[in-house]
Amino acid sequence: MSAFKHGRYSGYLKPISYLIDLGIINWLAIYLLFQSKDSLVYHTIFTLGWILISFTSRFYNVYRYTPEVTIFALVLKQIIIFTLFVFAFYGFNYSLNVKPLAILKYVFVVFTLITILKFAIYYLLQKYRTDFGGNYRNTIIIGKNKNTAILEAFFKNNPEYGYTYKKTFSLKGEKTQTLDYCFQYIIKENIDEIYCSISELNNAQINEIVDFADNNLKILKFLPDNKGIFTKKLKYEYYDYIPILSLRNIPLEDSANLIIKRAFDIIFSLAVIVFILSWLTPIIAILIKLESKGPVFFKQSRNGFNYKEFDCYKFRSMTPNNNAHLHQATRGDQRVTKIGKFIRKTSIDELPQFFNVLFGDMSVVGPRPHMVSHTNMYAKRIDKFMVRHFVKPGITGLAQISGFRGEVETDKDIIGRVKYDIFYIENWSLLLDLKIIIQTARNAIRGDAKAY
């Protein structure tokens, strides 16, 4: 009952969404697939299949703080799995004689309507919260520091999420307040959610707050003490009956996500190799050969997934030299040829790495791999640098489109790169990959200031 109370009736949204979506998939199936056939069995199978897929993909786990990009990623994941389910169903029931084009039409219409509906509910609720003050949750913060100040500003500046910020309590310093006073205020003001800074509390206080929240049906959330920790998500699991908290959750450790990403990598890399590299390679090869002697391609050992070394390929952009494997290019580097300046500025020199993607050493999107000598150096100097090797390296990445590509001039550059790479690893989605690819293409057309 508490889920409905705290959500101000938003607890009803999930079952209502289920019913509407099931109505859409079954109603459209009558007109586009089943037609006049006795279809009760088929409706039952489609309904159970949709519910099972939704449960597995967490399709209905959309909250007031869920960003639009995550919602779209959920829709995309659901459509892929449901499409495979429908095709499998008609594969086993080939006697129904339904053509693949009819199935694709059905799936397209279903997901068009469901996507519109999902976003309509999302934006209407935001409008309802902003204009009418409904569907809200009263919040307080326990603990006063930089992190809680940021959270306080978030509550105040984003009314569309439906959080009504009431007060921040300080348990340290000159103006301290007791937990009993906080508890009285929470009950008196009908507070729904309590946010606590772990760094401002001792174990006894944390236990006391947990007991109070449990006994008074209040939602309790914690802000981690994240000094030097760049993680964004924690994973909570049970080993038998023992609760275990993992430091980070990596979506690409999920086999389904891994298959989706690998399939995308193969399709995308094949498209680039066939439609771009097939004709561009001879042109670049001639230009490189006309300017300087040496090979067309440059091969360099880099560290990839699980720290494994692999040969990374590029179009050669420098005159052959013995320092290429030790020192990266700097601004005004005399080793870079004239054609090299152009292909580096437009990132054309990176295109042969699509063969690395096809071979499985790299991904289209991921943390950029470093030279082996640099990897060894940064691993010793930069905290959490090795986290980047939990996934395959990429031709482009979130750090590169966020201003952290090219030469590492100071430790600040590599620290920024690591932060963005870890965020990507912990928040991967196919939609995020597409966003990074589009931004990379834009940067290549405009020319990146750090591409030299």
Asked whether 349 and 299 are in contact (CB, 8 A), the reply is: no
Give the helix/strand (H/E) hosting 338: helix 338-345
Query: Is there a domain that residue 249 lies in?
Result: no
Residues 216 and 338 in one domain: no
Residues 122 and 142 in one domain: no
Asked whether 328 and 407 are in contact (CB, 8 A), the reply is: yes
Last residue of a domain, one of 97, 132, 167: 132
Last residue of a domain, one of 227, 247, 267: 227
Residues 57 and 103 in one domain: yes
Task: State residue 235's pLDDT score.
Answer: 63
Segment-wise mean pLDDT, segments of 10 residues, the chain, 452 residues: 42 78 88 69 85 85 78 87 88 78 89 90 79 77 86 84 86 74 90 86 87 82 61 57 63 83 95 95 94 90 90 90 65 81 90 96 94 85 86 94 78 87 90 92 77 52
Q: At 310, is the secondary structure helix, strand, or coil?
A: strand
Tell how far CA 266 is from the center of its chain.
Answer: 20
Quote the number of domains for the chain. 3
Residues 323 and 351 in one domain: yes
Query: Is there a domain that residue 235 lies in?
Result: no
Domain containing 7 equals 2-132
Compute the distance between CA of residue 43 and CA of residue 49 in angstroms, rounded to an integer: 10
Quick: pLDDT tens for 365-416.
999 998 888 888 888 888 888 888 889 999 999 999 988 876 676 778 888 8
Query: Is there a domain that residue 390 lies in?
Result: yes
Residues 292 and 380 in one domain: yes
Compute the distance between CA of residue 122 and CA of residue 105 in angstroms, rounded to an integer: 26
Asked whether 216 and 186 are in contact (CB, 8 A), the reply is: yes
Residue with tokens 């040829």: 337
Residues 127 and 205 in one domain: no
Residues 169 and 290 in one domain: no
Residues 366 and 263 in one domain: yes
The b-or-e profile of 227-257 (16+ CB within 10 A means b, else e) is eeebbeeeeeeeeeeeeeeeebbbbbeeeeb
Residues 326 and 409 in one domain: yes
Residues 70 and 106 in one domain: yes
- Which amino acid is located at 198 in the chain? I
Task: State residue 8's pLDDT score.
Answer: 45
Residues 65 and 143 in one domain: no
Query: Is there a domain that residue 452 lies in?
Result: no
Last residue of a domain, one of 227, 244, 275: 227
Asked whether 365 and 397 are in contact (CB, 8 A), the reply is: yes
Query: Is there a domain that residue 247 lies in?
Result: no
Query: Is there a domain that residue 234 lies in?
Result: no
Residues 187 and 330 in one domain: no
* SS3 assignment for 82-142: HHHHHHHHHHHCHHHCCCHHHHHHHHHHHHHHHHHHHHHHHHHHHHHHHHHCCCCEEEEEE
State how far the alpha carbon of 184 is from the alpha carbons of 178, 193, 412, in Å. Answer: 10, 14, 46
Query: Is there a domain that residue 233 lies in?
Result: no
Task: State residue 3's pLDDT score.
Answer: 40
Answering whether pTM is above 0.75, one says: no
Query: Which token pair is 225?
Result: 């003490």
Task: State residue 38's pLDDT score.
Answer: 60
Nearest to 160, CA basis, from 135, 188, 194: 135
Phi, psi for residue 408 in degrees, rounded to 5: -95, 100
Quick: pLDDT tens for 245-288.
565 678 888 777 888 899 999 999 999 999 999 999 999 999 99
Query: Is there a domain that residue 246 lies in?
Result: no
